[in-house]
Structure 1
Amino acid sequence: MISWGYSRLRLQRELGLRATEAIMSVQSIKHWEKELKAGAEKITVIHGTKGGRLREAHVVNRHRALHAIQRARQISQAQGGKLVVTKTPNLSAARSRYEREMRAVGLRGKQSSHSARYAYAQDRIRAYQAAGMSRKEAAAAASCDLGHGPGRGRYIEAVYSR
C-alpha cells in the first residue's frame, strides 16, 4: 500500500500534479516517459485536470521525474492498468482510497499530499528566478505550471511559496 501511494505522491512532487491528476496519470505515463527520454523539459497533463483544461508542466528534475513515472508504470502494469485499485472502479472511490493511504502514513492537513504541489511550486519559482525572471514573473510562470494561469501569480506567491 505505502509504495503505491508513495509512487503517486512522487508524481505529484516531481510534476506538480493534483491528487486526481496523479490517480488518472496512468493514461499518460507512457507518453510522459517517452517525452522525457527524448529530452523534453515539460509534460502535458490531460487527464484529471480541473475543468478538463490541459496544461503543460515543466519538470523540476528530469531524472527524478522519469524514475517516478517508470515506477508508476510498473505499479499500474502489476495492477491491471490502474494506479489505485478499488472494489468500486470509479474516481471517487480511488480518491478516497488515496486519501486514506496518505492519512495512514501521516500525511494530513498541512502535510497532505497537496504539500507535494507546494514543494513543486517552490522549486519552479527558484528555477525561473535562476533563469533571470523576477520573483513576480517566476510566480506567474509557476502558476501556469500548476494549471492556475498567469493571473494567479500573487496567489501562488502567497499560498504555495510559504
Structure 2
Amino acid sequence: MSRLEQEMRTLAQQAGGSHKTVHDRMALAQRFCARLIHEQNVQIRRVDQLKARHIEGYIQNRLAQSINKRSLQNEMSALRQILIRAGRDKLAHSARLSNVALGLAGASRHGTHLAITPERYQNALAAAQQKDAGLAAAMALARMMGLRSEEAVQCGQSLNTWQKALAKGAASLRIVFGTKGGRPRDTHVLDAGAVKKAVDNALAVAEDRNGRLIDKPDLKSAMKYWHSQAGRMGLKGEYSPHSLRYAWAQDALACYLVQGYSEKEALAQTAMDLGHGDGRGRWVAQIYGRKEEAG
C-alpha cells in the first residue's frame, strides 16, 4: 500500500458515516490511488500534493469505462469528504471539480431498478427452488419482508425469533443482521400468513444447514453466490434482487394508504420500514415508486 493510499484510507475513516459508507469511501481511495500511481505513474505521496488535474483524469477515465454519472457523483462526493478532512477545502470546492465541469451534471436520481412484477417473481422463485432451496427461501423472505440482499443472506440467524414473534401476532419484525450501518430496523408484516409460511419454510431449510440459508463458509462467498445465482434466475438489470425490496415497498405504501394514512404519513412510515429516516418519504416515492412503463 502506497503512502498516499494509506493516508487517504485513514482520512476516509475519519470522515465518518455508516460502516458501508466508510467502506465504500475507503474502496474509492484504493481505486483512485491505483489509477494515479500504477496507471499514470504519478509519484504523489501525500494528499496535500494532489491537484485538480489528477482528479479530473480519474473521473474522465471512469467515464470512459461507462460508469454511470450518478455513481460518479457519489465518488466525487466521497473524494470531497476526504479532501475536506485533509484541510483541502479549496480544492474540494474548486470550480474545476464541480459536477458540471466534470461532465457529471444531469444524472437522474430516479434509480435504475423497477419493482419486480408478480410473473417475474414467480418465474425466478420457481427457478431458484429447482436449483437451491435455501436460495429460494431467502428470495421469498426478501420479497415478503422488503429485505436487502445482505439481510436476506444473513437472516437465518433471526428465523427462530421471527417465528416466535409471528406466533404471538406481531405486527412487525426486527431485522438485525446485514442491515445498513449495522442499525436494526423494524419492518411491518403486510401479509401475516405469507410471511409465516416463508419463515417456517426457511427455518426448515436452515435447520439442515447449520442455521444458514446460503450454505457458504463466509459472508463474502455467500453474497457472491446470492448475486450470481439470482442473476441466473432472471434477477438482473432493472430487475435485480433489489427489485424484490422495491415491490415490497410499493405494497407497504398501498397498505398504509388503505389503512387511512395520508400520503405523506404513508411514505414516511414506508421509509422507516425500509430502514431510512421518516424524512426520506419523498425520496422513497421517487426511487422505490418506479413502475414499468406500459407498452
Q: Shorter-chain TM-score category?
A: over 0.9
* Pair 1:81-2:81 in alignment: no
Match of residue 38 from structure 1: 168
Runs of 4+ with deviation above 6 angstroms: none
Query: Does the CA-based 8 Å contact 1:2-1:105 persist in structure 2?
Result: no
Cα distance, 1:98 vs. partner?
Answer: 0.6
**Structure possessing the higher radius of gyration over alpha carbons:** 2
Q: 1:90 aligns with which of 204, 218, 225?
A: 218
Cα distance, 1:134 vs. partner?
Answer: 1.5
Distance in 2, matches of 1:109 and 1:148, equals 24
Distance in 1, matches of 2:260 and 2:211, equals 42
- For residues 83-112 of structure 1, what are the alpha-carbon distances to aligned partners after superposition, in whole Å with 9 as ceiling and x for unaligned? 1112xx211111000111101111101111
Match of residue 259 from structure 2: 131
Give the number of the structure with larger relative contact order, counting CA–CA contacts within 8 Å between residues 6 or more apart: 1
What's the TM-score, normalizing by structure 1?
Answer: 0.95
Distance in 2, matches of 1:64 and 1:47, equals 21
Q: 2:184 aligns with which of 54, 61, 73?
A: 54
Query: Does the CA-based 8 Å contact 2:150-2:179 persist in structure 1?
Result: yes
Match of residue 148 from structure 2: 18
User: Secondary structure in 1 aligned to 2:195?
Assistant: helix
Q: Which runs of 5+ in 1 are unaligned?
A: none
1:142 corresponds to which letter in structure 2? Answer: T
Give the alignment's Cα RMSD to 1 decimal.
1.0
Identity, in percent, stands at 38
Count the aligned residue pairs.
Answer: 160
- For residues 122-159 of structure 1, what are the alpha-carbon distances to aligned partners after superposition, in whole Å with 9 as ceiling and x for unaligned? 11101111111121221111010000111111111011
Q: Which runs of 5+ in 2 are unaligned?
A: 1-130, 291-295
User: Secondary structure in 1 aligned to 2:207?
Assistant: helix
Match of residue 108 from structure 1: 236
Cα distance, 1:2 vs. partner?
Answer: 3.9
